[in-house]
Structure 1
Amino acid sequence: MFMAIQWVRSLVFMIVIYAWMLVLGIVFAPYALFAKRGALQACKTYARTTMWLARWMVGIRCEIRGEVPHGEVVIGAKHQSFLDIIMIFNAIPHGKFIMKRELLWTPIIGMYARRLGCIPVNRGKRGAAVAKMVKDVAREFSEPGQLVIYPQGTRVAPGVHKPYKVGTAVLYEGLGFPCVPVATNAGVFWPRTGVLRKPGTAIVDFLDPIEPGVARNDFLERLEHAIETRSNTLMREVGFDPDEVR
């Protein structure tokens, strides 16, 4: 009975947050088109209200741990669901995301992504995509911000293993910024597919930065070990054993 009620609450929640996205997108559009600050304000408002609605409507509490970076850094983040995007973006001052190119054509999201300075990547052309990504990122960093990239390239369900790609290391080398690993357990409560949202505490944890100058292979090993180890710990903390999925 509880699961049936929670499913209905989850469905209503999803309808509300996507309707709210549309409303905010339209209301802020004139401001966002003429000032990047307007796009940032709109997206911050959406992130905060979505987290508040998640707690009130489906029982998901959002917790940020670790030292949130405020300077120019690369953020290599575990990506399990839409929720971890919202939590990271709300926590950092000016987030810019590496995103798949198809999202640029999504109503509302595409326009605001452009205004925030997000970097689209054509995932079908790996070598060319990485080279263009570095060039585009260098151009966008004429304005300060925190660049968020998902080292696994996509959302990965809790407990599922997916290799880390070289793109994060290339950006780390090319930009010369520290890289902050970020772990999460958000997918336990807000899965990558389906409607049901489960009550509990979703955590995003900003870990110790990897300073510039680490060799590529060593960097990728350190990044993966930090993110995966901490994410597994966060999942076990809320009662989910990632080892049982494997």
Structure 2
Amino acid sequence: MSSSDTTPGPLGPYQYVQNALYYVHVALATVVIGLIGIPRVIRGGREGANRVATGWIGYMLWAARLHLGVTCEVRGTPPTEDCIVAAKHQCFLDILAIAHAVPRRNFIMKREVMRVPVMGWYAYKVGCIPIDRSKGRDAMRAIVARIGERMAGEGLGQLIIYPEGTRTRPGERRSYKHGVGTFREATQLPVVPVAVNTGLFWPRKGWGVRPGRAVIEFLPPIDAQTPNDDFMTTLASQIEDHSDRLMAEAGFRR
């Protein structure tokens, strides 16, 4: 696959129908699974919500195989202890795959997303932390405080962060934001980098998905004792170099 091949061409009628069916399918499934799972969340709290989320995410990945012919291979060792997961972000598929691979996933997400019916309620229940980006540094301080409360109580789980702050195209590199360094310094938790090549198969906009086997790879954690001055450079180098390797393995050339 050349770099020009990474941008899907116009959808054919069959692809268009399958893409549409996928999104209709998962929207209906979200409502049904969400409603059925309410009693489990009421009984089991955060752990119950995570069990429902695992089933829901797994169903969405299964539906992607059924309708779109795309699967996602997980390499490395997904963390099970409290940590920060810092991942390359290319598309919706890597969100699903990373979240499905860890048992107590939670995200820092825009507060507007947490107001979405069903999904937003579950995001709150599994421990996702809302952010109001308009508040700048005050928002960061509020998140650090929330993380501290979580660690002092039921534990943080695996906090998933996208250091670039947005989805990127295959081969694209953006400056890493320092939020992940701030959270690492405040928590003294290890940071687990994740490399991906998912954007070669699932475009940023979500239409024109290419069938095939995408890969996400959990890399060895960056120890909490790594000096702060070295951390961001080390993190970016590991994620970008390994993502480039995964994309080259799939045939991508810059």
TM-score using structure 1 length: 0.92
Q: In structure 1, which of residues 2, 23, 31 is the aligned counterpart of residue 32 of structure 2?
A: 23
Matched ranges for 1:83-232 at <5 A:
83-141=93-151, 142-144=153-155, 145-232=157-244
The Cα of 1:192 is off from its aligned counterpart by: 1.9
The 5 A counterparts of 1:12-91 are 12-34=21-43, 35-91=45-101
CA RMSD of aligned residues (A): 1.7
Q: Which moved more, 1:185-194 or 1:1-10?
A: 1-10
Equivalent-residue separation in structure 2 for 1:108 and 1:239 (angstroms): 39
SS of the residue 2:207 aligns to? coil
Cα-to-partner distance string for 1:107-135 (whole Å, 9 max, x where unaligned):
11110011001111122232112111111
- Amino acid paired to 2:245: T
Question: In 1, are the aligned partners of 2:50 and 2:103 still within 8 Å (CA)?
Answer: no
Letter matched to residue 65 of structure 2: R
Q: Distance in 1 between matches of 2:158 and 2:244?
A: 25
Q: Does the 8 Å contact 2:91/2:206 carry over to 1?
A: no
Runs of at least 5 residues in structure 2 that lack an aligned partner in the other structure: 1-9
Q: Secondary structure at the match of 2:241?
A: helix
Range with bigger deviation, 49-58 or 175-184: 49-58
CA distance, structure 2, for counterparts of residue 3 and residue 65 of structure 1: 32
TM-score, structure 2 length as denominator? 0.89
Letter in 2 for 1:162: R
Shift of 1:94: 0.8
**Identity level (%):** 38
In structure 1, distance between residues paired with 2:42 and 2:112:
21
**Aligned AA (2:108):** I
1:51-83 residue CA offsets vs partner (Å, 9 max, x unmatched): 112112211111000111111111111111121
Q: CA deviation at 1:7?
A: 2.6
Kindly tell me: are residues 33 and 155 of structure 1, through their superposed partners in 2, closer, same or farther at Cα, counting changes over 3 Å? farther
2: CA distance between counterparts of 1:8 and 1:134?
44
Aligned equivalents of 1:230, 1:77: Cα separation in 2: 11
- Asked whether the equivalents of residues 193 and 220 of structure 2 are also in contact (C-alpha less than 8 Å), the reply is yes
Aligned to 2:245: 233
CA distance in 2, matches of 1:231, 1:124: 31
Task: Point out where structure 1 has 5 or more consecutive residues left out of the alignment.
Answer: none
Distance 1:47 1:55 in 2: 13
Q: Which structure is richer in relative contact order (CA contacts within 8 A, separation 6 or more)? A: 2
